[in-house]
Structure 1
Amino acid sequence: MSLSGALSSAISALNAQSSALAMISDNIANSSTVGYKTSSASFESLVTNTSGASSYSSGGVTASATSNITTQGLLTSTTTATNIAIQGNGFFPVTTSLTGGSTLYTRNGAFTIDSDGYLVNNGAYLLGWRTDTDGNVIGTASEGNLVPIDTSVAKTSSGATTTTSFAANLPADAAVNDTFTTSMPLYDSLGTSSTMQVTWTKTAENTWSASFGKPTLASDSTTTLAAAPTDTISVSFNSDGSLASTSPSPATVTISDWTTGAANSTITLDLGTVGGKDGLTQLSSDLSTPAVTIDSIESDGLAFGKLSSVAVGDDGTVNATYSNGETIAIYKIPVATFTASAELEAQSGGLYATTAASGSATLQESGANGAGTIYGSELESSTTDTNEQFSSMISAQQAYSAASQVITAVNKMFDTLIAAI
């Protein structure tokens, strides 16, 4: 082996071990970086000429970086409700611009809410699908339907009453034309809380009618909020006191011209199951003065509420909670998978870009079709094992020192050769 070849080989070793040490340094520096994936050096020999039995021409070594992108990091719990992590295969889709930005991917789920209400992490906006209040994706679950997640998309919450359920007994021992009153709670479409009186009149044996008064403000019964509905409901009972029928069926009442400016309300009255005793019944009150016995009168709908908190559920659903106690789904976070994740191009900030080798992203809901599962209030730790990195560092240091000794030896041999000339 020629001295110049030995020198060249030793220099290539220094370069290769320097590269390996740089990777080790990066790994150790990012041992606490959320979602960080370690890089490792892969060494390959360089051979310039292997022919001939009596001579050898040295080549050396080269080092290339291998990013262990698909390695799973340990999930750890956090106290931030918008932190998320993936257990399994996949990435979170993000963009660095609210408009016109390209889609990138990350495993770093340390998202927080910025001053504008968006979920962000190091300048990257988390992307998701808009959902209805039940968590169903609106439109198609496709990349073209992804939008930056804006938690302020629904800052307030309210809901008009659409159903009122009655569980009460009308006294069978009441005389025809006797009347009794109950009240039912209501919410208009603006979230105003009100009550409306229901007058029950016994019109014949086993038959009653219900009429309705003016809705009034729940906090002040002297304030009228709408005219009295004109609807009248007829209710009949079987001989055993169970509900026989209602007219109309289903029983409904309409409230128009709210003074609050709310939309007209149409409320379905759930009076129970025909033939059952789970709603209205007509049984003897066994009182000297017959009276209506109320178990419950409950209405849906919600008072006005302000957004109080946002959290991500374990299925990737972004939930908004309001001061009125309502919690609704506003977005669904997808999981992006690739045919060759290891071929993604790494960028600063824990971001990855697609390449021709990685293929395009396939978007799935959490845990579906081989995609990883999203967990809320958790983060994925760095995959750096400092013990392993220190061991690799010692090996790189020893190899570097040995290569430098080869250079020293070659230098002395050159001196000897020159002195002999």
Structure 2
Amino acid sequence: MAFQQGLSGLNATSKNLSVIGNNIANANTYGSKASRAEFADMYANAMNGSGGSAIGIGVNLTGVTQRFSQGNITTTESGLDLAINGNGFFQLDAAGTTVYSRNGQFTLDKEGNLTNSSGQKLLGYAANPDGIIIPSTVQALQLPTAGVAPNATSQVALEFNLDSRVAGPSAALTFDPADPNTYNNATSVTVYDAKGQELALTSYFRKSDTVVDTWDIYLTANGMPMPADGSPAVAAMTFAADGGSMTAPVGTIPLVIDAGVPLTAGGTSLQIDFDLDLAGATQYGAAFSVTDLSQDGYAPGQLTGVSIDKTGVIKAQYSNGQSKSAGQLVLATFRNPQGLQPLGGNAWSSSFASGDPIVGAAGQGNFGLLQSGALEESNVDLTAELVNMITAQRAYQANAQSIKTEDQVLQTLVNLR
């Protein structure tokens, strides 16, 4: 009797249509992966063996597998949207259970956690207060909400060229920062005390000896002179014959800006201990020019935004121009992604068939790279799914026709007289 074959065909084709319909329904779901129904034929066991005359008894659904091929990546306007270009999965904390997803639509909750629309928290490595990522325990990533504390200047580096062709001021004129005739050149850089208060550190250069190419350097903080060892000049710079390097001083010059220097906006500054580095100074036959001014202090700042690079490092950006790492999200891969158990909500869980997750940072191995401000689209081929749906529909009609034909045969047998 062919009823069983036709009935199994209807059942299998119905499930195939359900799989195709689910693919079509999720064609616009970010991070979704297309599924495929897989079938196998069935044969009855016979006592005397089936031999070459065995007739199958229908079809059976053996499984529904997902295709984890890469979906197209589309850009968005949110910097917290993430797309994986590779084989990795996001790790998410779902009420204490780790689940895995390819959907990178994340937002910040009120506690600073990166979460998806289901409230699942993105997992990764945390960073210490100095912004150093500690690759140890994987935990929920929580972005800082407080600002960054100020940092007092500890080193100032000046890179400049002094014109070897000029003559120094008259020896009868003592240095006076208010009188340009008492020095040759000047440049200024902003430094910070322990409170993050700004002071203008100005360097004045005065040629003191033409024969041996010696220059005196004077410093003021917010216009107040900085004497050193009772002398107004903090150092005497002597250059080599070719002007390409200094012969003195050697190394950095330790200096102190005394506490109590008046600030521009009122109040007074704290003491600043710093080293002055002049190793980049030259004396060539060219006009005075400053090529680099740097110092390592900064004012306090408030959090203004976050960004995520292609390796998953989360950078916190502050109003004072500083940035530091706030963590690094960690991806997972599996030896057999087909063995992952779908949970719905764009998430999967690991299983015995998938194997244990292999955890690592983006950019390593086959985890892939991250793209911020982008999302991975579903890998469903809508055109192919519509064609498959038409084919499945015809198969359903054919199986129904086989049952109808068997019914007519049976009716003919019953009506024999």
| CA-CA distance at 1:14 after TM superposition | 1.5
Whole-angstrom distance in 2 between the partners of 1:381 and 1:40 = 18
Matching of residues 100-115 of structure 1 within 5 Å:
101-115=96-110
Distance in 2 (alpha carbons) for counterparts of 1:147 and 1:363: 13
Deviates more, 1:406-415 or 1:196-205: 196-205
**Could you say what secondary structure the match of 2:191 adopts?**
strand
Q: Is 2:149 the counterpart of 1:149? A: no
Deviates further, 78-87 or 401-410: 401-410
Q: Gaps (5+ residues) in structure 2?
A: 178-185, 262-266
Q: Hey, what's the Cα distance between the residues in 2 that align with 1:184 and 1:313?
A: 32
- SS at the partner of 1:42? strand
Q: Which amino acid counterpart does residue 44 of structure 2 have in structure 1?
A: T
- Rounded to whole Å, the distance in 1 between the matches of 2:64 and 2:234 is 75
The residue identity in structure 2 corresponding to 1:191 is G
Q: Check if 1:351 corresponds to 2:347.
A: yes
CA distance in structure 2 between the aligned counterparts of 1:331 and 1:234, rounded to whole angstroms: 44
Q: Which residue of the partner structure matches residue 37 of structure 2? A: 41
**Aligned partner (choices 165, 180, 199) of residue 194 of structure 1:** 199
Q: Aligned-pair RMSD on alpha carbons?
A: 3.8
Structure 2 match to 1:402 = 398
Is residue 153 of structure 2 the alignment partner of residue 161 of structure 1?
yes
- In structure 2, the CA distance between the partners of 1:267 and 1:402, relative to structure 1 (3 Å rule), is same
TM-score, reference length from structure 1: 0.77
CA distance in 2: counterparts of 1:317 and 1:138, whole angstroms: 9
Residue matched to 1:267: 274
Determine the C-alpha separation between the residues in 1 that align with 2:286 and 2:401: 107
Instruction: Name the CA shift for 1:294/1:71 in 2 (closer, same or farther; >3 Å).
Output: closer
Alignment CA distance shift 1:104-1:255 (3 Å): farther
Deviation at 1:29, TM superposition (A): 0.5
* Distance in 2 of aligned mates of 1:202 and 1:52: 110
The structure 2 residue matched to 1:116, chosen from 111, 123, 126, is 111
C-alpha separation between the residues in 2 aligned to 1:328 and 1:107?
Answer: 27
**For residues 30 and 284 of structure 1, do their structure 2 counterparts lie closer, same or farther at Cα, with a shift above 3 Å needed?**
closer
TM-score by length of 2: 0.78
Contact 2:246-2:279 at 8 Å conserved across structures: no
Partner of 1:235: 236
What residue identity is the alignment partner of 2:115?
Answer: V
Secondary structure of the structure 1 residue equivalent to 2:144: helix
- Residues in 1 aligned to 2:324 and 2:90: alpha-carbon distance in whole angstroms: 22
Name the structure 2 match of 1:289: none
CA–CA distance in 1 between the matches of 2:357 and 2:388? 34
Structure 1 residue matching 2:364: 3-state secondary structure: coil
Distance 2:292 2:85 in 1: 46
Counterpart in the other structure of 2:6: 10
Structure 2: which amino acid aligns with 1:120? T
* Residue aligning to 1:88: 86
Q: Deviations over 1:293-342 (max 9, x none)?
A: 67378343333332222222233222222233334432223332221122
Residue of structure 2 in register with 1:371 after alignment: 367
Does 2:303 correspond to 1:302?
no
Deviations 1:320-369 (A, max 9, x none): 22233334432223332221122111111111211122122222332222
Aligned pair count reads 389
Cα distance in structure 1, aligned partners of 2:269 and 2:343: 52
Partners of 2:14 and 2:373 lie apart in 1 by 39
Between the aligned partners of 1:262 and 1:343, the Cα distance in structure 2 is 65
* Alignment CA distance shift 1:234-1:67 (3 Å): same
Q: Report the 3-state secondary structure (helix = DSSP H, G, I; strand = E; otherwise coil) of the residue aligned with 2:301.
A: strand
Contact kept in structure 1, 2:217 and 2:237, CA below 8 Å: no
Change in 2 beyond 3 A, CA 1:67/1:193: farther
Q: Which residue of 2 aligns with 1:288?
A: none
Q: Find 2:75's aligned residue among 70, 74, 77.
A: 77
